[in-house]
Amino acid sequence: MKSSGQFSKGSSSISSSTMTPRRIVVAVIYFITLALWGLSITYLSPAVPQLPPPPPPWRHHAFLNFRGLDVRHAFSDHLYSALRRSGVRAYRDDKDMPRGANITEELLKAIEGSMISVVLLSSNYASSSSCLDELVTIMRCRHKMAHLPLPVFYLVSPEDVQDQSGPFKRDFDKHKDQYTYNRVDSWIRSMQDVADLAGWELKRHSSEAETVERIVNQVVEAIHSSTKEKKHPPAKNHVAAPAASPPAGGKVDAASMRRLLNTEFVRELEIKRAAVCRSTTLEKAYYSRR
């Protein structure tokens, strides 16, 4: 009984010691610090910029088309993260595809539902029939849905993309033996078309960080421009581009194109020429009238 009484007395002393004013003050300071830290995370962290949502029928701002073997865990990762930090609704297959979805069907739907596609052309790009099929869809959407492709020549030259030479020659030689003529021909034409677009050529000693920043800035600018056009449609007396049928033989001469461009429609047309782009009849007609 005596020992029991001693134990009880000891417990009482421990309990009273834990309730000293000093410990209470320390506990209050601790909880206040936690609360302030939580507020700093909520209010003082850099906010994600708010971009206007993609206007219908689009669901995404940008689609990333790339060969995972070359850039999935390097340039593509950096670009995707930078786009998301800038408020861009970017779509990448391993990040945004629903589990259990049909891969090919889902990717093609994602392209059609995107305002912009960033096409990362790398040395093993043409070894993937899926990448090439996506590219065909991207270029088709460019002509039919005002889709904007932005090519990035990642350690490859635009000339090699245009001619399917260099690292692409071996892959296209194999494709000609494995696939139908029409399918391979659509891949070749899409490679030629994307090589003619203004983009970024990333060489071995180029700064990836600077290139990523330029791409993100271009994507954000294109999103704002597209949204502005949706909010401020052309006036009622706006003259749309006249439908012109090419003369016999399928060729359009510069004079015909010049007449086509001498309308109010040309105010909405801006052709950004890259150093690697080849001259076209449309470009000649456009620049000769300036």
User: How far apart, in whole angstroms, are the C-alpha atoms of residue 252 and residue 246?
Assistant: 6
pLDDT band at 49 (very low <50, low <70, confident <90, very high): low
Q: Which of 46, 83, 62, 20 is nearest to 212 (CA)?
A: 83
pLDDT above 50 (res 69): yes
106, 134, 210, 268: the catalytic one is: 134
Does the pTM of the predicted model rise above 0.85?
no
The strands making up 60-65's β-sheet, listed across from edge to edge, are 90-91, 60-65, 114-121, 148-154, 200-202
Q: What is the mean pLDDT of the chain?
A: 76
pLDDT at 275: 38
116 near 62, Cβ under 8 Å? yes
Rounded average pLDDT over 176-201: 96
3-state DSSP assignment of residue 46: coil
* Domain boundaries along the sequence of the chain: 60-229, 236-288
User: How far apart, in whole angstroms, are the C-alpha atoms of residue 65 and residue 111?
Assistant: 9
Rounded average pLDDT over 91-113: 79
Active site residue 134: yes
Backbone angles phi, psi at 151, to 5 degrees: -80, 145
User: How far apart, in whole angstroms, are the C-alpha atoms of residue 214 and residue 230?
Assistant: 24
pLDDT at 127: 95
Architecture of domain 60-229: 3-Layer(aba) Sandwich (3.40)
Per-residue b/e over 202-235, b at no fewer than 16 CB within 10 Å? beeeeeeeebbeebbebbbebbeebbeeeeeeee
pLDDT at 128: 94
Place of tokens 């595809």: 97
pLDDT band at 104 (very low <50, low <70, confident <90, very high): confident
pLDDT band at 174 (very low <50, low <70, confident <90, very high): very high
